[in-house]
Amino acid sequence: MRQGKDIINRYNTYLRLEKSLSANSIDAYLTDLDKLLRFAEDEKKDVKEISYDDLQQFIAQLRDIGIHPRSQARIISGIKSFYRFLLLDNYITNDPTELLESPKIGLKLPEVLTVNEINILDTIDLTLPEGQRNRAMLEVLYSCGLRVSELTGLRYSDIYPKEGFIRVEGKGSKQRLVPISEVALREIKNYLYDRNSVVVKKGFEDILFLSRRGTALSRIMVFHIIKQQTEAAGIHKNVSPHTFRHSFATHLLEGGANLRAIQEMLGHEKITTTEIYTHIDREFLRKEILEHHPRSRPRT
């Protein structure tokens, strides 16, 4: 079906640009997705019309033919990624994978940047026209732990420099106040000189971070800027805007911040969503003990 091919082509682009996946990883995602497409075809359903019950039936088929739980989890993860893409691009209005559970095969921790790696912000070339904008943008992304959509939608009127807070509109249009560092405020102030020279398109007058065309930056553009900057800094990790958010939460927890406070700042509705970072903190503590506790040193 032509429409199906168009969707798959756009999903391919999404995986390549926004998820920054390698060619091999993209092939794996599309191969796993093809299993679902064949299932939908057998059921005579459009993939956009697949329900939660249909997906449960599909997973049951995987089990029945002896697919290993780890492979099941990989396929389910790929399907969830596909339906998140469909939701983001308005192909569907409800995500049928929202309640879908994967087999329990162990915890995968999110990738984070170290405190030293965060210093890539200091390597941004400020002689470029967009240099100060990018520096301010990434500083805010990290300092406030924002989602990429929250960053691109941030408005100048959402910043309260005297109070040291910004107002963020998160998922479901829910608003929260997030502390902002003096460093981030300084970078924004420096960026405003460049911003004021941009011819702003109607409707974007209050958007903080603008493209050269005077409109809000797209999610893809933010991904591209981060990928370009991390490569220039010689960081060989799969870094995305969400990596900065994970790093923000991890560094807070390592510094002793309360989990509930981190939950509020990230805009998580459930504390269980934030608790992923406690696993990172335990590993950090284990490393500290192994490196610094006298009983952990090899005996001579």
The residues assigned a catalytic role are: 147, 171, 242, 245, 268, 277
Alpha-carbon gap, residue 51 to 72, rounded angstroms:
18
Nearest to 20 by CA among 190, 229, 214: 229
Coil, helix or strand at residue 112: coil
CA distance 165 to 25: 39
Residue 176 is encoded by which pair of tokens?
A: 């929260």
Angle of helix 182-195 relative to helix 131-144, nearest 10 degrees?
Answer: 150
In sign, the C-alpha dihedral spanning 60, 63, 64, 67 is: positive
CA distances from residue 58 to 5, 14, 43, 81, 98 in whole angstroms, order as listed: 21, 24, 10, 16, 15
Task: Tabulate helix, strand, coil % of the chain (nearest 5).
Answer: 60, 5, 35
Q: How far is CA 254 from CA 78, 99, 112, 200, in A?
A: 31, 31, 12, 41
What type of residue is 159?
I
- Please state, as a whole number, how many other Cβ atoms lie within 10 Å of the Cβ of residue 150: 23
One-letter amino acid at 279 equals H
The span from the CA of 230 to the CA of 287, in Å, is 26
Rg (alpha carbons) of the chain, rounded to whole number: 22
